[in-house]
Amino acid sequence: GIQVEQSPPDLILQEGANSTLRCNFSDSVNNLQWFHQNPWGQLINLFYIPSGTKQNGRLSATTVATERYSLLYISSSQTTDSGVYFCAVENSGGSNYKLTFGKGTLLTVNP
């Protein structure tokens, strides 16, 4: 099946810093989503971004489908950004309905 690799696995920032999280995937995709799992365990949708660039406030994401990667940018980080960020993809071939998740990036933002 499709492989999803996220980097870095862990990231510690001071409040106000910027960061870039990366997601590499091994095959073509119909769907790519970024989620934030907050300290209470909720999976919050950040972006639905199978290709192109989107921005939402301090967060933006870019997916280059032809090169099989996506980037999530967090600017001016806040303590509330802490949690695990997951990339999940839906393979465009075979079983193309399920999301395959990466292992996530654990982000800690210190005050």
Which stretches of the chain bind other proteins, using CB under 8 A? 30-31, 33, 35, 41-43, 45, 48, 86, 88, 90, 95, 97-99, 101, 103-104
Neighbouring C-alpha atoms within 13 Å toward the C-beta of 72: 31
Whole-angstrom distance, CA of residue 46 vs CA of residue 4: 18
In this complex, which beta carbon is closest to other proteins, that of residue 81 or of residue 104? Answer: 104
Min separation Cβ 69 and other proteins, Å = 20
Query: How far apart are the C-alpha atoms of 14 and 74, rounded to whole Å?
Result: 12
HSE-CB of 69 using CA atoms within 13 angstroms: 11
Shortest distance, CB of residue 59 to other proteins, whole angstroms? 16
* C-beta closer to other proteins: residue 48 or 64: 48
| Cα first-last separation, the chain | 40
- Least separation in angstroms between CB 40 and other proteins: 8
